[in-house]
Amino acid sequence: MYRRTGQGLLMLDTTSLEVYRYAVGHPGWTRTDASDALGLTLRRIEEAIHELSRRRLLSARPDDDELVAVSPDVALADLVDADERALQELKTRISGQRREMSGLVPSFLEARKSALTSTSVETLEDPHLIHRVLIEYGRDVTEKVYIAQPGQGSTADVHEESVRKDLDLLEHGVRRRTLYDTSTRDHVPTRKAVEAIGAGGGEFGVLPFIPLRILIFDEKLALIGRQRTRDDKAALVVRDHSLITIFTHLFDVAWETSEPFLAPQQPGSPLNSMQRSILQGLANGLSDESIARRLEINVRTCRRHIAFMLDALHADSRFQAALKAREAGWV
């Protein structure tokens, strides 16, 4: 008995609307009166009365069978009153639960920090928890942040967020040093991030190989990548002061042997940064698989670079290619 409007709302059909208008204009009406006046069968009148009653637009008097028309606003209040009360109760309950849970957040964070602090070395498997630790300690850092980042550079989106945070740290007098793999010099998002942070006072160096993923916050915390496999994202959270001192010393030694990230390339060298890193691996006698794993590239890509360099250097072997590249000043 409904018709659907263009907006998808269910409305009264024409018959029900006619009966409602008749009831409004004829107090004390009967079904027979409506049938005669509107030219509708009693069956259709009954159907219309059923729909109007469901909408609370018709109401029967308690002492007789007379049907009285009800104004739409009164009918609406009667129709949705129970639902509105239930909705209001639900909103009140949700609001109360939200306040209760929000009140527990400081206790949770404090208890979590106490639990973490009580352990010298903890393994975190969940990347979300690792991210939370980084946020908590990154917010409180006052002196230095040292980072050693193996493999290839991150995406432009990750670097964009990092640039904002690092520039804020630098403005507050925090020393920011990062070691990257030499191959990242040709990674455009990483290079742009280095240029932006470097302009704010950040320092960046490169090494042919970064063995460990390390993040050091002051003397308070060090995060060390576990790196059991290439896809292992777990981290060791180190809070022991002696261990943090050791990792800081290792970082300092690596920093002293590194080259500036933005140093000019070797003149006349046709090799990019990735290829120079591969050559360094060849000179150290590493296998294709080991080189690819260190640089976080697949073995096929590594071998394609090696084939190009053998041809460019007119070398008969991998070792000879490394020697010729050094003699030419390419690495």
User: What DSSP assignment string belongs to 220-271?
Assistant: TEEEEE--SSTT---EEEE--HHHHHHHHHHHHHHHHH-EETTPPPPTT---
pLDDT of residue 109: 66
pLDDT of residue 3: 47
| Average pLDDT per consecutive 10 residues, the chain (331 residues; last block may be shorter) | 42 86 88 88 90 86 76 80 79 84 74 62 83 76 90 73 85 91 81 89 88 88 85 86 91 91 67 77 80 79 84 79 74 63
**CA 272-277-283 angle, 5° bins:** 125
pLDDT of residue 6: 42
Q: Which pair of structure tokens corresponds to residue 261?
A: 């990230």
Q: Give the helix/strand (H/E) hosting 58.
A: strand 58-60
CA distance 171 to 110: 28
Would the CA dihedral through 86, 87, 93, 96 be positive or negative?
A: negative
pTM exceeds 0.85 for this model: no
pLDDT of residue 298: 82
pLDDT of residue 264: 64
Residue 152 and residue 183 in contact, taking contact as beta carbons nearer than 8 Å: yes
CA distance 198 to 170: 10
Q: Which residue has the tokens 């990548």?
A: 225
